[in-house]
Amino acid sequence: MAVELRASPFDPWRELAAAPGGEAPAGGFGATCAFVGTMRDFNEGAAVERMFLEHYPGMTERQLAAIVDETRSAHGLLDARVIHRVGSIEPGEAIVLVAVWSAHRREAFDGCRALMEALKHRAPFWKRESGAGGDRWVERNTPG
């Protein structure tokens, strides 16, 4: 599947090892590029104990699928895949895996970055951080 939301922890490296070529034809891809976002225990000056990742069931999947399709076309990718957590997340856990495959490196580097940036700006997710001071909705992304 090109897009998956996961309610429980996942290992992005096992996912890649299980499908090292994605759906790209064997022998057809020369480049793989992957990005993993991991939950940190510190953000904007405050310690973070855990996070809740809210989403909009239906719209989140639809927007991610559109982002994947658009990025594949725009960058000539052979395949692209997103796995994203939802629900409660602990520091050190993977939040997102973005992986892309292409014939050559330029498309892979550019496509992976483009997909991640589009996800950050368009995909309906909202982070609520919990720490000593209580709960706080994250208001903005860090610059890309």
Partner 1 sequence: MHVTVKAFAHLRDRFGIDETGVELDPQACVQDAWRAATGEDAMPKHVFAAVNLEYAQPGDRLHEGDEVAFFPPVTGG
Beta partners for residue 43, in sequence order: 46
| Residue 81 binds partner 1, judged by CB under 8 A | no
| Binding-site size, partner 1 (CB under 8 A) | 28
Minimum separation from the CB atom of position 122 to partner 1 (A):
7
| Residue 77 binds partner 1, judged by CB under 8 A | no
| Residue 116 binds partner 1, judged by CB under 8 A | yes
CA–CA gap between residue 129 and residue 137 (Å, rounded): 6
Nearest Cα neighbor of 40 from 32, 28, 48 is 48
| Residue 138 binds partner 1, judged by CB under 8 A | yes
Beta partners for residue 128, in sequence order: 52, 137
Interacting span for partner 1 (CB under 8 A) from 7-15, 19-27, 69-77, 124-132: 124-132
Interacting span for partner 1 (CB under 8 A) from 11-19, 26-34, 68-76, 135-143: 135-143
Quick one: which of 96, 100, 112, 114 contacts partner 1 (CB under 8 A)? 96
- The stretches of 10-95 forming alpha helices (DSSP H) are 12-18, 59-75
Half-sphere exposure of 121 (CA within 13 A, CB side): 9
Quick one: which of 81, 84, 94, 114 contacts partner 1 (CB under 8 A)? 84
CA–CA gap between residue 50 and residue 47 (Å, rounded): 9
Distance of CA 8 to the CA centre of its chain: 15
Closer residue to partner 1, CB minimum distance, 27 or 144:
144
Instruction: Provide the 10 A C-beta neighbour count for residue 7.
Output: 10
Site residues (CB under 8 A) for partner 1?
A: 37, 53-56, 58-59, 62-63, 84, 95-96, 116, 119-128, 137-141
